[in-house]
Every structure is written in C-alpha cells, then in structure tokens.
Structure 1
Amino acid sequence: MTAGVLFSSLVVFLILNVPVGIAIGLACVVTILSFGMLSDLYVAQTLVTATDSFPIMAIPLFILAGDLMGAGGVSRRILAVANAFFGRVTGGLAIVTVVVCMFFAAVSGSGPATVAAVGSMVIPTMLQAGYSKSFILGLVAAAGSIGVIIPPSIPMVLYGVTTGTSITNMFLGGILPGLLIGFLLIIYAYFYSRKMGWKGSDGRFNGPHTLALIWEAKWALLNPVIILGGIYAGVFTPTEAAAVAAVYAFICGVVIHRELKPRDIFKTIARSCATTGTVMVILGCASTFARILTIERIPSTIADLMLQLSLEPFALLLLILVLLLLIGCVMDTTPAILVLAPILYPVVTAVGIDPVHFGVIMVVSLAIGFITPPLGINLFVAARIGNTSLGTVIHGVVPFVIVMILALLIITFVPSLSLLPISFFN
C-alpha cells in the first residue's frame, strides 16, 4: 500500500510537469502524511543529511571544473589538436567531434555540459562543411552522453555513495566502456560520412603546425592526466581530485590562457551553482524516497520476487537492461540511480554479478536516456545550441541510439571491459 501511494503520487506529479526533484519530494511528503510512518520534518532533515557527505562534495566541484574548462578556452584548444590529427579523414569533423567529447568527458563528468561546450564550437564549422544539421546535432547529443561514462563521472559518484562501492573502482571500470562507445560512434560516423560524400579538410599532415597546436594546448591536455593519474596513483581521493580539477581549470583560464575574465568568472560560478542546486535537491529528495522504500522493505521484497523467478544471470541482466532503458526515457540519471540502485543492487549481487560491472551497466543504460525522448536532456541542449526544433535532433539521433545499445550489450556481456582496468591497477 505504501509503495502504491509513493509511486502513484510520483507519477501524478511528473504528469503535472512538476520538476523531478520537487516531484520526488512531494511524493515522499504525501506518503508520510498518509501513513504517519515518519516525522513531518523528515524530508527537510534528509535534504541536509543526504548531502552532508565527503564523497558528495565531488559533484559541485566537478560541475564547476567543467564549466570553467568551457569558459577558459580549454575546449577550443583540444578541438584544434583533434582536428590536426583527424580533420583530413573522411568525415573528419564528425570524428573530431567524438574525440573532443571523449576528452572533455575526462574533465567534466557531465553529459549536458559536454554537449553545450563542444556543440557550440563544432556545429557552425560542420554546417559550413556541408554536413546535415540533423546528423550534426544527433552526433553531438550522442557523443555528449559519454560525459557520464568516461571518468570522472557524477553518476558513478552517486552509484558509489548509494551502494557503498569504491568510487575509484567505478572510475576505472568506466574507462574501456567509454572508449568502446566512442570508437563505435566514430566507425558509424566514418561510414555514414563516406556514404554522404562528406570529405575531410584539404591539405597534407603538417607536423610542425600540429606540434605547435599540441604545445599551445599542453595545459589542457595535461588536465585529465593530472586528475585521473592522481586518483589511480593514490595521491588524492576522487573528491580531492574534483577540487584539484576546479583549481586547475581556474588557473588555466585566468593565468595561463587569460581568456577567463572577471565577469566570466562570476557568470560561470553562477551557472555552476544553479546546476549544483538542482542536483542537490534531487539528491536529497531521492534519498528520502529510497529511505522510505527501505523502511517498508520494498527493495528486499522486489529482490526476493526477482530471485524467485530463478532466471539465469544472462536473462536477469536482459530484464534489468530493458527496465533501465525504459526508466532512462522518463527519468534523469541522478534520481534514477538514487531510486533504483538500492532496489537492484541486492538482486544482482545475489546472483554473483560484480557491483562495479553492474554500476557501469547502470550508468551506460541511463546515459542512453540522455538521447531518448521524452526526457532526453541532451536532445534539448543540442536543439537549443543548434537553434532548431527537437524533431530535427531526434531524427538525427536514432542511428546513434542503436549504436549505443549495441555498445551496451557488449559492455553487459563482456564483463572484462569493466573489470580489467581494476585488476591492472590493483
């Protein structure tokens, strides 16, 4: 009965177009008032206690680091280097777009931030080169979703905090899956560009010019090396790495590149604060939601029911994939992880699936939700920066959704992709 009121009220609020975080909080309030199981102040208390966590501090810091990177000229320099290497290949600009999104993912941890930062630079250039708008926007939206898979990743931090899984191991587990997705997107972009006759830029490879671009972008290229290298070498924790990333991005933008002016600093911080505020409200309300589920033993009941089906791990994973893909269409990654991870975690661990492997599966599945309607936040960001309709973006993104689902299946049923880097570093 409690679960019915909790989930039905959440659905009602979402249908009424209430923001996701507020909808989750109101559903919790309705349930608490209906059954009197907890204090009326419980939601307010959890908003504070759920965010009062050292690992959670990584989220606002990575958000700030990503915004500072975009405003400080880091993205533009990375784009120039990638273009020097791949620009002459058939579909060169499309390949460059994916490569830059992968690189930016290694410093931002956010899908929409990656779409906004990279898309604003490559879309005008690709349009001038004759690429179709729907293809460009679909590519940018899909490649931007890699931002939550290649470490550092905000959803992976949330999964680690929610389930007690090592965040460092989650970051390690996301490296090869993120590279695989990027590689498959590049393969499709190459053959589709070849079919459409979209050639690369003219001219031969210019070694001295390329070396000059690399030298100019050296501080930008060092960023992921410092952040990820420091984490994996044990120099600092993922949370401390987020602080290092923010400080490093600030120094690059203000002192080294000198493109981050005082007025830009305040605008960037304000934008980061707005994003962080939204995420923290969702986090606090979703934590209340999860605690109510736990009090009512709903996760353990669902786990028992799924285990009673006596499904093989292969079939169980397929069932969970379908569930996650459907949830990703209607719910943002953050609340989806906070609500579903406590429910699904005991199910998969009971049948011997590695927690890190499942965490990567969960993040990749929900990342596909960035490019599937009706929620599909990357679709809205791409439509806005491309100054076009949502339908145009959806038309262009369909093939990339298929490519990413193929990648998801490979990641799911080849566990070594997620677990090999962990065994190497440990």
Structure 2
Amino acid sequence: MLLVISFVVFMLLGLPLFGVIGLASIISMIGMPFPMEFIPQNLYTGMDQFPLIATIGFVMAGFLMEPAGITGEIIEVAKKAVGNIRGGLAMVTILACMIFAALSGSGPATTAAIGSIMIPGMIAAGYRKDDAAAVSATGGTLGILIPPSNPMIIYGVVANTSIAGLFMAGFIPGFVLTSLMCITAYCIAKKRGYQGTNEKFSIVGLCKAIWDGKWALATPAIILGGIYWGVFTPTEAAEVGVLWTLFVGLFVYRKLTWKNISSALIRTSAFAGSATILVGVSMAFSRLLTLYHIPQTVGAFLGSISTDPTITLLLIAFFIFLCGFVADTLAMVVVLAPVFLPITNALGIHPIQLGILFVVCCETGFLTPPFGANLFITMKITDVKLEEVALRAFPYLLAMWLLIIVVAACPDFVMFLPRLLM
C-alpha cells in the first residue's frame, strides 16, 4: 500500500518519472526485510540488458535520417502512392510515418521527422493547424508498432520472449492500423473540405519515385531482412541501420554533415541516459510489485470479473490506456508486463499477443494529455494548444481502439506471421 501511495504523491508533486518510481520503491521498503542492496542490484540488472543497445541504435538512426535526406525521399514515394485523392496530404503523412517507422523504432522520432516537413505543407494547402498537428501526431504512433520497435524490444527482454517474433507479429496490425488511419483522415478531409495533392496517381510516377528513393527504401529491407534471415540480431541490426544511414547520407545523397552527426550523437546520448535509468528503476519497481504479490492480487481481481481471455485482455488494455495518461511507454512495459504476464499465461494467451496489445495501447499514450509526447512535438511545430491537438486526434484514438478489440479477440490476427515464419 505504501508503494502505491508514495507513487501517487510523488507523481502529483511533479517529479520526473524515474524519480517517482525510484523514490516510491525506496520508501516502500521501510520496515520490510529487504537488504539495502536490493535497489542498486535490480537497478543495475535492469540497465545491464544487451538488447537495450538496440533501442539506442534505432533512435540514433532515426535522428540521422532527416538530415541525411532519407526522410524526404520517403515522403516523395508516399506522395506518388497516394495521388490526388481527397485528404491526400494527410494520407501522405500517415504513409510516410509508416515507412519511417520501419527505420526508427520510436514514436516521437517519427512524429518529429515527418511532422516537421509535412505540417507546414498541410497548413499551406488549407488544413487547419490543429488537424495537421493531429494527423502527424497520430501517424507518429506507428513508430512503435511497425517493426523495429523499441517497446517491443523492451517487452521481449521483460517477458523473455522472441523479439523477432514480436517484430513479425507487428506487421499485420501495423498495416491495418495505417489503413484505419487513412480512412479516418479521408472522412475528416471530406467533412472539412480538404482537397488532395496536385499530383495524379501514376504507376510510372510511383515506380520512378521508388527507384529514386531506392537507397532510402533499402534501409528497412536491410534491417528487417537481416533479422528475419538470421544474418544478425536486433541489436546488431540497429547498428547496421546507423552505419547504412551514415553511408547513404555521406556518400550517396551527400547531405549529411559532421554538424548533423554531432547533433544526432548528443540527442541520442540524452535519450540513452534517460531511457536506461528509467528502465533500471522500473525493473526494481516491478520486482517489488512481485514481492508484494501484486500480480496475484490483480489476477484474483480480474478473475472475479471474467475468465474469458478476450474480456481479460480488454480489461488489461483499458488499464494500460489509463496509465498512458501519466506514464512513459518504456516504464509501462517494464512495470506492467510482469504483473499481467502470469495472468495471461494462466489463460493460455501467448506472450506475443499480449506484447502487441501492450504496444497498441501504449500508442494511445502518445495522444493523451497531459503527457502525450507526440502531442507536445506537433504542438511546438504548429503553436497550437495541447488540448486542441488532443481533441482533433480523438477520431484516430477510436481507430486504435478498434484495432485493440481485434487484437484481443483474434489471436490468429497477431500470431499468423510468427507461426508461419518461425
């Protein structure tokens, strides 16, 4: 009980999330028979995870891709693929985010890279600022569902399940969610009177754009193909992605400068420092939850409501959704996955299905105030209030919840590719 109370108090005081989790863990140990080295040992164990290097590598690659010219090539391909359909620029943004997601593994990085280019273009074409911000923030959430995905890597470590299997399982839900987002964007464009792009769809034009962008589009093929064919591990794939991006930016497009590289290194270092300590304290916090028998308590509570796997997964999804209002994605995965895994394992739910449900639910956290990371990024680009962007993103949240229901109700929807290819 002290653990929960101290967590809520420190959260209300506005402490950084790692401080909230760390201090709550320490205070909850008062009067308990735990050795003093419990926290530092678990902190070190949480940070000393080889796959964590993969998340840092993918983020580094994402920071390099925009100055390298790769982002621009991706957007050109997306424009040719969409043509002049109503709401085309919004769909281009979503498709570009989907492609970029296969390179970065990060939702905020995807939002920043694509949104910084597409939002001014949408506003110039007559889109309202809040609509342009909302579609960019929403498309950016695909950064953690389309593999490679940083939360999938963390979940794979915590759940001791195949990261490659999680990547495979993310493809079909990722493409379905992209389609749902595009349909939503079309409906909004039709209601608001937004027109399409000035370019008609042409197979020849699309093929030319793909050929011109072959170096950029080869990046996800190298990263994901190398993982699935067993050429390298996800961690090695992240570093290969960085090297490939440097090669393309320096020697093919020749747009990448040493200043860009230096800036990417500084931003990556900041991410690495904050992410690793957050994962470390979250691992210690999660261990305390287990010792306090929280998973058993939660399991008994959910069991009293329903033992149906679909209902249980939907209840878990709703709880993760609520946590997304106040917690960071990586922290939610590290803290909550060990709580829910024993429950879902007892019901025969595959850890990969739970992992994909986790990731889709975490996506919603990027779009919910007051801490939605993607909302803040697009808010700064457009100078629009946070609540206005969140309101315009609500229809896309409904599309995400439709996918959550499908993931919870249809295990084969998630498990088809892992079972087929592994």
TM bucket, shorter chain:
over 0.9
Choose which of 22, 28, 31 in structure 2 pairs with 1:31: 28
The whole-number CA distance in structure 2 between the counterparts of 1:132 and 1:220 is 30
After TM superposition, list the pairs within 5 Å mapping 1:26-65 onto structure 2. Answer: 26-32=23-29, 34-65=30-61
Choose which of 151, 155, 158 in structure 2 pairs with 1:159: 155
The whole-number CA distance in structure 2 between the counterparts of 1:207 and 1:314 is 42
Q: Do the aligned partners of residues 171 and 133 (structure 1) sit closer, same or farther apart at CA in structure 2, a change above 3 Å counting?
A: same
Q: Runs (4+) of structure 1 moved beyond 6 Å?
A: none
> How far 1:306 sits from its partner (Å)?
3.1
The whole-number CA distance in structure 2 between the counterparts of 1:70 and 1:10 is 38
Q: Do the aligned partners of residues 170 and 203 (structure 1) sit closer, same or farther apart at CA in structure 2, a change above 3 Å counting?
A: closer
How many residue pairs get matched? 422
CA contact (8 A) 1:87 1:93 kept: no
Choose which of 349, 354, 357 in structure 2 pairs with 1:358: 354
> How far 1:415 sits from its partner (Å)?
1.8
The whole-number CA distance in structure 2 between the counterparts of 1:157 and 1:11 is 28
Is the aligned partner of 1:9 residue 2:14?
no
TM-score, scaled relative to structure 2:
0.96
Residue equivalent to 1:185? 181
CA contact (8 A) 1:29 1:40 kept: no
After TM superposition, list the pairs within 5 Å mapping 1:294-309 onto structure 2. Answer: 294-309=290-305
Choose which of 97, 103, 110 in structure 1 pairs with 2:93: 97
Letter in 1 for 2:36: D
Letter in 2 for 1:5: L
The whole-number CA distance in structure 2 between the counterparts of 1:69 and 1:11 is 39
TM-score, scaled relative to structure 1:
0.95
Deviates more, 1:170-179 or 1:44-53: 44-53
After TM superposition, list the pairs within 5 Å mapping 1:226-245 onto structure 2. Answer: 226-245=222-241
Q: Do the aligned partners of residues 340 and 204 (structure 1) sit closer, same or farther apart at CA in structure 2, a change above 3 Å counting?
A: closer
SS at match of 1:259: coil
The whole-number CA distance in structure 2 between the counterparts of 1:81 and 1:55 is 32
> How far 1:258 sits from its partner (Å)?
1.5
After TM superposition, list the pairs within 5 Å mapping 1:272-291 onto structure 2. Answer: 272-291=268-287
Q: Do the aligned partners of residues 302 and 192 (structure 1) sit closer, same or farther apart at CA in structure 2, a change above 3 Å counting?
A: closer
Choose which of 1, 18, 22 in structure 2 pairs with 1:21: 18
Choose which of 192, 195, 201 in structure 1 pairs with 2:197: 201
Residue equivalent to 1:176? 172
Q: Deviations over 1:192-244 (max 9, x none)?
A: 21232222233544665544432331111011111111111111111111111
Q: Deviations over 1:369-394 (max 9, x none)?
A: 11011221111111012222212212
After TM superposition, list the pairs within 5 Å mapping 1:316-395 onto structure 2. Answer: 316-395=312-391
Deviates more, 1:36-45 or 1:147-156: 36-45
Residue equivalent to 1:413? 409
Q: Deviations over 1:72-111 (max 9, x none)?
A: 1111110011112213111111110000000111111111
Q: Which runs of 5+ in 1 are unaligned?
A: none
Aligned residues: CA RMSD: 1.6
Q: Deviations over 1:50-72 (max 9, x none)?
A: 12122222111111111111231
Q: Deviations over 1:260-290 (max 9, x none)?
A: 1011111111001111211111100001101
Choose which of 79, 82, 85 in structure 2 pairs with 1:86: 82
CA contact (8 A) 2:295 2:339 kept: yes
Residue equivalent to 1:145? 141
Letter in 2 for 1:29: I
> How far 1:310 sits from its partner (Å)?
4.9
CA contact (8 A) 1:22 1:281 kept: no
The whole-number CA distance in structure 1 between the counterparts of 2:370 and 2:205 is 45
Q: Which runs of 5+ in 2 are unaligned?
A: none
CA contact (8 A) 1:156 1:170 kept: yes
The whole-number CA distance in structure 1 between the counterparts of 2:416 and 2:362 is 22
Q: Deviations over 1:325-363 (max 9, x none)?
A: 111112111111111100100101101111111110111
The whole-number CA distance in structure 2 between the counterparts of 1:79 and 1:138 is 18
CA contact (8 A) 2:83 2:199 kept: no
The whole-number CA distance in structure 2 between the counterparts of 1:105 and 1:326 is 25
Identity of matched residues, %? 38
